[in-house]
Structure 1
């Protein structure tokens, strides 16, 4: 097995990070896939040892690693555990703190491997995308609970667990009932052998405030038409989902008794209802995000002078905040806005962001009043990480592709911390990397103040 950056001539690896020196892709000897399953399970540890050693060796040679594409690398449980043990060690710390995307598709990862992934995921604020598709994983409730708990403590945005038919309802039951992370935006559970029995659990999740997903895919499962209709009804009670896929569902025996024409009419009605709900949610979410950012700017100008910091309990009173802003010793005179009663001030603020709930507006105001939120505490000086990567590219990367000077890299960024664009002033407006970093930071802030979805107030 070889670990290398894909070349331009390789059509297999033509993706948007083709020339990114911070990406490690695995090129596997695919003749190993012709081994019969029984022999592969017997020799799994012997096959995974040289594979994971090659991956670790490639990581050691890189100064910056942001993506690991390790699909079909024959890792198995032993290789997966070995890889994450290395990433947890001092030698792999630089990689652990920089990985934003991790793809482990079709690696025969079971319970032990899933626990190793959970340990890597716990408290991880850097990893944004994780793909575990095509792996048997585990149906053990304790293992699933450990993985879900780790996911809830992370900032992961995208999770893909599709084409894992061995999971079934037992995995989804534990996973969805304990899923509470506010950062997860995309979840793909297609072709995981879910049946109509899981519909109540799935419906409870999508209608609850625990669900902050914007995209949910459950294609190629056995949820049936009746189950899909119940899920759509539950989605109508929430406001976060903007894209849902329930296509290619298998028909159970009860539904098969209904005529084909009636089933077609039923699916068409279900799809129309779903489209209307998703369009409504998209409109509301767009309004909430735009108004949240606008209110942040207004609140900075009004309330930052109060000098309010974080409290131990995290609880503020708007009246006291307004009073502190009015009595501030700032050189500039306070705005006449603070001469108004606190109730009238809140009423005026509500007109600035009418789509936000009262709680959302107050969270933004308290955030804006805290001077500590103006500066990131772990911002490196002079963009050290990015400049190190640029210097390494210019001095040569061995067999890796060296792009032209001034070209930006999609992988040379870390969303949760400060990132400094090294493009020239004329190229900076078109820098895809900078735009993505801003988008990620904006999404993180909206999640922190719980303004990434519409809050319906009765």
Structure 2
């Protein structure tokens, strides 16, 4: 008698994946096959469709479905369309789907057939700006070249975009001014830029590195490898300071190594300032919340039942016990902080967060002083629609006893970032830091904090 073996367990998260990489899908027939697979499932979070031949026709059919009322019920977070022979017509269909899309976070479009067309690129950029896309890859689309970034980067103004891949798309030194302008602008919220395998040249690369050093504090990863020129250095005007420019042939290997060391130092600086900014922001919130709300007793009862047990998440410590009966506030406390003018209160609290800029502190004060942002039960940070109290951590398998499977947090308690692959407290902290603009260092420290 044979032994019955149970079917292997399939994680719930992977059931939402449709992986048809290199599956021979072609044109509209392939798109209809994908649509049938999507329609047969309750939820779909990833579409992995690389190395097929959907082309423009298949792409248009697929994204018309995804943009329809039925298709929008599927909260797809990642789409990969690498090497699908997609051209400008397909890119326009993708742009229509991106318009106002808050679900899609990752879009891979490597090695397709996009060609120069200003109107198409402008429509695509405007769609990216209205979406919540966080990662965009256009690597190895060699026909994009300099004209693409001339349209794309000046229009790019997405507060959500964190990572761009522009490797091997035919960029030359003519693209450097547009890269420098974007990276130096407050519009840039990137933490990763990959621009390998182009022909920017040494002068352009060094100018980009200088611009990041002087003006950009959000980037944590920058890749500018394999950008040397085969011929002599061109006399472009990309450099901010050309007093020490080489005259003549290509830059030496030592010069490239020096530029690489410089960008590493800049990125280490940005990472350090990011940690300090986030730490100061959470600390300021922890103390600003009770100080700015304690003058009103309306929040005491509601907040006491919904505070986190771990105050490191950024919430306030337990409220101070009220004075005993018959004792006045002045005799029991000796000094009333709230008797001070508001401007002076905020100025004193600013010393708790010296790394933050005035604008960052004001946003935290505004958040902390609002009763609408008080935490709900089971949440570490408030104010994020769709956050259910059942949010859980994905445990690190290496931290669990042998033979134990599953995930989540026992008893509704967070497992902590050290024992989790995904920690919901860390996710909420990251979302809150982005909401108040404290996910990166702000160098604008010369503005007045309090208006007259």
Mapped contact 2:35–2:62 kept (Cα < 8 A):
yes
User: Any idea what SS the aligned residue of 1:107 has?
Assistant: coil
CA distance in 1, matches of 2:283, 2:11: 33
Paired residue total: 372
After superposition, give the CA deviation of every residue in 1:174-196 in whole Å (9 maximum; x if it has no partner): 11111111221111100010000
Deviation at 1:292, TM superposition (A): 1.4
Match of 2:440 in 1: 453
Distance 1:142 1:444, change over 3 A: farther
Distance 1:336 1:77, change over 3 A: farther
User: Any idea what SS the aligned residue of 2:127 has?
Assistant: helix
Which of the two has higher C-alpha Rg?
A: 2
Residues 223-234 of structure 1 correspond to what in structure 2 (within 5 A)?
A: 223-234=200-211
Q: Which of 185, 189, 208 is residue 208 of structure 1 equivalent to?
A: 185
User: Any idea what SS the aligned residue of 2:18 has?
Assistant: strand
CA distance in 2, matches of 1:379, 1:248: 44
User: Any idea what SS the aligned residue of 1:130 has?
Assistant: strand
CA distance in 2, matches of 1:377, 1:273: 39
CA distance in 1, matches of 2:206, 2:11: 39
Deviation at 1:22, TM superposition (A): 1.3
**Are 1:425 and 2:424 an aligned pair?**
no
CA distance in 1, matches of 2:147, 2:256: 27
* Unaligned 5+ runs, structure 1: 1-6, 9-15, 33-46, 308-330, 387-403, 409-420
**Are 1:89 and 2:68 an aligned pair?**
yes
Match of 2:309 in 1: none
Mapped contact 1:183–1:447 kept (Cα < 8 A):
no
**Are 1:62 and 2:41 an aligned pair?**
yes
CA distance in 1, matches of 2:121, 2:11: 32
Distance 1:24 1:275, change over 3 A: same
CA distance in 1, matches of 2:190, 2:166: 13
Match of 2:340 in 1: 340
After superposition, give the CA deviation of every residue in 1:269-319 in whole Å (9 maximum; x if it has no partner): 211221111111111111111221222222222224578xxxxxxxxxxxx
Match of 1:282 in 2: 271
* Unaligned 5+ runs, structure 2: 1-6, 235-246, 297-321, 324-328, 375-381, 393-402, 447-452
Mapped contact 1:239–1:453 kept (Cα < 8 A):
yes
Match of 2:282 in 1: 293
User: Any idea what SS the aligned residue of 2:142 has?
Assistant: coil
CA distance in 2, matches of 1:362, 1:380: 25
Match of 2:134 in 1: 157
Match of 1:21 in 2: 15
Residues 166-315 of structure 1 correspond to what in structure 2 (within 5 A)?
A: 166-237=143-214, 238-255=216-233, 263-304=252-293
Residues 74-153 of structure 1 correspond to what in structure 2 (within 5 A)?
A: 74-95=53-74, 98-153=75-130
CA distance in 2, matches of 1:233, 1:29: 45
Distance 1:438 1:49, change over 3 A: farther
CA distance in 1, matches of 2:202, 2:213: 17
CA distance in 2, matches of 1:351, 1:244: 33
CA distance in 1, matches of 2:186, 2:120: 25
Residues 349-368 of structure 1 correspond to what in structure 2 (within 5 A)?
A: 349-368=349-368
1 or 2, which has the higher helix percentage? 1
Match of 1:36 in 2: none
After superposition, give the CA deviation of every residue in 1:176-234 in whole Å (9 maximum; x if it has no partner): 11111122111110001000001111111111111111111110001001110110111
Deviation at 1:104, TM superposition (A): 1.2
User: Any idea what SS the aligned residue of 1:429 has?
Assistant: coil
User: Any idea what SS the aligned residue of 2:222 has?
Assistant: strand
Match of 2:406 in 1: 407
CA distance in 2, matches of 1:358, 1:380: 30
CA distance in 2, matches of 1:17, 1:212: 34
CA distance in 1, matches of 2:219, 2:27: 39
CA distance in 2, matches of 1:345, 1:377: 28
CA distance in 2, matches of 1:291, 1:306: 24
Mapped contact 1:428–1:434 kept (Cα < 8 A):
no
